[in-house]
Amino acid sequence: MSTKTGTIVANWKMNMNLQHMHDFFHQLKMPSQNKHRVLIAPQAPLLVPLKEQSTKHHIGLASQNCSSETKGAYTGEISADVLSSIGVEFVILGHSERRQYFGEKEDILSKKIHQALLSNLKVIYCIGESLEQREKNALSETLTLQLSALKSITEKSWWEKVVIAYEPVWAIGTGKVATTEQVKEVHDFLQKTIMTMFNLKSCPPIIYGGSVNAENAQSLFTLDSVSGFLVGGASLKAHDFARICSVQ
Ligand code: PGA
């Protein structure tokens, strides 16, 4: 049996209300000897009620976003500081839906990463290419540009608080999971690039996201360079999510 441990994150996106959350935990049967770091990222108003439930299951809290500003007159924004103060552990930044629908680019993401780390949050930084970028042979160029947002990690010790999520845009919510060969190729590339770009001796963990489900998670997890998953659709069903958390 493999002793590898990973980080498995449920990204609930703009799904699940308070009642759905209660139903989810009512049905959730986590693997009895769960060895992975498991996190749930609900919509922000559910972070506090979720905490009560998730602690019992040893599940940590993640936010789906945070502001690039510290505090002040920014109506509607959520600061990294307030998230940290209520016990949120991680923040997801750079998700392709934030990039696509809210125009977030490297400059703003770089500031968000800095704010999060300053407030003692850990960061799951998402990157990934569109189908068009892949077909145009712009894969490495796209990923390298996205990685440049990590330049705001100005303290060496902060690297221990970073997880990279490789999520090819064409695999998100489409049912088209990347093959193990594709994932291996990109994760290997990312490991080398990150270490060179930022002069690191080891690379932060890289998790995979994009149509991960209870059927395909195990074979992806056997790859050395896959340190866990960011799961959207399949994380909304307690049974499927628990099965993903049982990968070895
Ligand atoms: P999916 O979403 O699992 O539904 O493809 C993953 C994500 O967007 O993080």
pLDDT in tens, 120-139: 999 999 999 999 999 999 99
Q: Let me know: does 78 contact 66? Beta carbons within 8 Å.
A: yes
Percent of the chain with pLDDT over 70: 100
Catalytic residue among 106, 129, 167, 187: 167
What's the mean pLDDT in 76-103?
98
CA–centroid distance, 199 to ligand 1, in Å, is: 31
What's the mean pLDDT in 13-23?
98
pLDDT value at 180 more than 80 = yes
Look up 185 and say whether it is catalytic.
no
Instruction: Please report which confidence band the pLDDT of residue 2 belongs to, taking 50, 70 and 90 as the band edges.
Output: confident
**CA-96 nearest atom, ligand 1:** 8
What's the mean pLDDT in 216-231?
97
Q: Dump strand ranges (E) for the chain.
A: 7-11, 37-41, 59-63, 90-93, 122-127, 162-166, 206-209, 228-231
| For helices 139-147 and 180-197, angle between their N-to-C axes, nearest 10 degrees | 50
Look up 187 and say whether it is catalytic.
no
Nearest to 151 by CA among 95, 102, 99, 111: 111
Within 6 Å (CB) of ligand 1, which residues are found? Answer: 11, 167, 172-173, 209-212, 230-234
What's the mean pLDDT in 46-69?
95
pLDDT value at 83 more than 70 = yes
Instruction: Please report which confidence band the pLDDT of residue 1 belongs to, taking 50, 70 and 90 as the band edges.
Output: low
In this predicted structure, what is the pLDDT of residue 27?
Answer: 97
Read off the pTM.
0.97
**Tokens 């959350």 sit on residue:** 21
CA–centroid distance, 21 to ligand 1, in Å, is: 18
pLDDT for 31-53, tens place per residue? 988 899 999 999 999 999 999 88
In this predicted structure, what is the pLDDT of residue 67?
Answer: 98
Instruction: Please report which confidence band the pLDDT of residue 214 belongs to, taking 50, 70 and 90 as the band edges.
Output: very high
CA–centroid distance, 193 to ligand 1, in Å, is: 24
